[in-house]
Amino acid sequence: MTAKKEQLNVTVFTPQHKIRGMLHLVQNSRLSDILNTESMTRDFLPITDAAITDLRNDITVHAPFISVNKKMIELVIEEHEPTEAS
């Protein structure tokens, strides 16, 4: 059995990267719920259609799926308008 998922268009900042893509949440949960959950099974955020920009050299790579370690996240912005992968 699989849980229904919702997608949020987000920009995530880590010390060295800016990541834009679709964050997948369990249906009826909030972004703050997944960020504040202390659990070994939820240490990573699943992001699809990711554009990862290295903040040191401004090089962007694209990936269909990444998992971001929550311990590395400095800022998450929920985008209300579709963003272009840059």
Show the tokens assigned to 36: 């504040």
**Residue 58: strand, helix, or coil:** coil
Q: Determine the pLDDT at residue 81.
A: 62
**Residue 24: strand, helix, or coil:** strand
Q: Which CATH architecture has domain 5-78?
A: Roll (2.30)
Q: Determine the pLDDT at residue 86.
A: 45
Q: Determine the pLDDT at residue 80.
A: 79
Task: Identify the H or E element spanning 51.
Answer: strand 44-54
User: Which residues pair with residue 20 across a beta bridge?
Assistant: 11, 51
Q: Determine the pLDDT at residue 5.
A: 67
User: Does the predicted TM-score (pTM) go above 0.75?
Assistant: yes
* pLDDT tens-digit series, residues 18-77: 999 999 876 666 666 666 666 555 788 899 999 999 999 999 999 999 999 999 999 999
| Residue 32, CB-side half-sphere exposure with 13 Å CA sphere | 0
